[in-house]
Amino acid sequence: MTVARRDLVVVGASAGGVESLRQMLGSFPPDLPAAVLVVLHLPTNARSALPAILDRVCALPVRPAVDGDPLQPGTVLVASPDRHLMVSDGHVLLSRGPRENGHRPAVDVLFRSAARAAGRRVIAVVLSGALDDGTAGMIAVRARGGIGVAQDPDEALYPGMPQHAVEIAGADHVVPVEKMGPLLAELLAEDVGQVDEPPPSELMDTETAMAHLDREALDADDRPGRPSGFGCPTCHGALFSITEGGMERYRCRVGHAWSPEALAVEQSQALESALWMALRGLEERATLSLRMGERAEQRGHLISAQAFRQRHDEALHAAGLLRRLLEQGELNGEGLPGDAQGA
């Protein structure tokens, strides 16, 4: 049996993740024998100070990832805004591929590409964050024999991501973030066999290629999964349902991907936008009807004036109903339990 050691650690975080990353990287020994890749969900147009923040607390050098960087043990590469961070053939790739769960960079893209490229040599770590980002990626890592590690949800500022990584992806280890450095050092020192390593699935190959904007994958007639009956919140195309490792998720023809929690929140936000548009239309209808009624009355057209005033009253009544729905917050995500309100 061919024996190797784990040498790649991929880390994903979202809301509340900066402090978790600081604590985790601060616990790293200076001789950690692995390349570490970090994705924190970031606004698209923001400059990231994360590498500098982490470099101040980490014994390893920390810097932004550059397309083509080799995977070097003892280094930490951090994803840049608006670029997926991916792994391929011993180096990293940066891609403007389709967003996953509304994010670019996305945790699942990093985890999935690492699983495809390095198999059992990968350790995937999920830290604080809302919703269920990272779950599909950890499923992919574990499917190829890699290890899944989750921050203890009870200590995470936002427990959604680590909790889903435990309950759905089956994380192998659940520990407080300050204990991750010693745990990773222990896992990286273990020998792992590669002879019977599960090969990448066709789904893993296809989704990794789509994230890298591979034209053949994007132009293929067949889409992964089966029609779901739902529409993509980003491009409004049809979503296809994919079931993997006990998790159902969704991807559209051009590659936008959604986990169940992320899709539900995005649908809620779209519904709220639609309600505000409807409210605006009703208020404009009420104002126009009032003006037309006043003009009809000035001209002595009393029947028309009465009809316009009735239209005005009906529009105001409907607008009042919409305002009450918006105030309750049940249709825009505020009524969702726990941390399902957004990342």
DSSP string, 185-220: HHHHTSEEE-TTPPPPPHHHHHHHHHHTT-HHHHH-
Q: Are strands 62-64 and 76-78 parallel, antiparallel or unpaired?
A: parallel
Q: Where are the domains of the chain?
A: 3-193, 213-260, 265-328
Block residue for tokens 């490229």:
117
How far apart, in whole angstroms, are the C-alpha atoms of residue 26 and residue 86?
24
How far apart, in whole angstroms, are the C-alpha atoms of residue 245 and residue 100?
18
Q: How many CB atoms lie within 10 A of CB 47?
A: 9
124-138, 166-180, 260-274: segment of lowest average pLDDT: 260-274
Counts of helices then strands in the chain (DSSP H, E): 10, 15
- The token duo for 314 is 């009906």
Catalytic residues: 14, 41, 133
pLDDT digits (tens, 9 = 90+) for 278-299: 999 999 999 999 999 999 999 9
Phi–psi pair at 90, nearest 5 degrees:
80, 10
| E-strand stretches of 254-318 | 257-258
Q: Are strands 238-244 and 122-126 parallel, antiparallel or unpaired?
A: unpaired
Q: How many CB atoms lie within 10 A of CB 310?
A: 12
Q: Which comes out higher in pLDDT, residue 29 or 221?
A: 29
pLDDT digits (tens, 9 = 90+) for 118-160: 999 999 999 999 999 999 999 999 999 999 999 999 999 999 9
Global pTM reads 0.85
How far apart, in whole angstroms, are the C-alpha atoms of residue 117 and residue 213?
17
Q: Do residues 110 and 86 touch, judged by C-beta distance below 8 A? A: yes
According to the model, what pLDDT value does residue 194 have?
Answer: 62
**CATH code for the domain defined by 3-193:** 3.40.50.180
